[in-house]
Amino acid sequence: MTVLAACATSTQDEILVYSEGSYVEASRFQEYRTLAELAADSEAVVEVTYREGEIVHDEWGFAHVEVDVLASHRGDVEAGDTIIVRTDLLQPGEAYESRPDLTPAIATGRDFLLFLSPLTFGDAELDARWPDEWVVQGYLAGYYEIGPDDVIHRLDPESPDIPATFDRSVLLASIEKADGVSD
């Protein structure tokens, strides 16, 4: 399965909507049908906001993006922490030469819900090079935008079984189900 991401948004109050037609492509190892499945595979579930500053890219083109944690729903990350997320999606201040109209995956002034796992390569030298970094679980399946009304919006068009919008009570129930707390 291939993720194709493009955004259609023009104002701060609109939600980033991804659909076919972009130049961002990646393969997925697993398709998620529920938030509980996604939470079960994630070590942290956090609400974040983009931390303005320089975005560092590695030699493979991945961005290492600093975000401030607003709330933590699962894992050892806490509200008030600053973490680094490694991603190959478009970031603030970046544009594709062929599509300068695309909106970044993590945009300034917007809050996001991310399902995260630690960045590991299985190689001691590479793991030591980027300690304490995170990757978004399930590629685009792990990115959600929190709207101005506190409604959480699914950005991924390839996970149609996950609700397009939901609130924190649905999120928390899904995390409890992933942890085996409820049915």
pLDDT tens string 35-46: 999 999 999 999
SS (HEC) of 99-138 = ECCCCCCCCCCCEEEEEEEECCCCCHHHHHHCCCEEEECC
The single-letter code of the amino acid at 141 is A
Tokens of residue 42, six digits = 């994630």
Tokens of residue 170, six digits = 């649905």
- The helix (H) or strand (E) run that includes residue 39 is helix 35-40
Q: Count Cβ atoms below 10 Å from residue 44 Cβ, excluding itself.
A: 22
Q: Residue 166's pLDDT is what?
A: 95
Q: Residue 177's pLDDT is what?
A: 95
Q: Residue 124's pLDDT is what?
A: 72
Contacts of 160 (CB under 8 A, 6+ apart): none
Q: Residue 70's pLDDT is what?
A: 96
Is residue 17 within 8 Å of residue 8, measured between CB atoms? yes
Q: From CA 131, how far away is CA 127, in angstroms rounded?
A: 6
Residue ranges, the chain, pLDDT below 50: 1-28, 96, 98-104, 183
Q: How many CA atoms lie within 13 A of 151 on its CB side?
A: 11
Q: From CA 52, how far away is CA 66, in angstroms rounded?
A: 8
Paired strand residues for 45: 74, 115
Going by C-alpha positions, the residue among 86, 53, 85, 81 that lies closest to residue 68 is 81
Tokens of residue 72, six digits = 């933590």
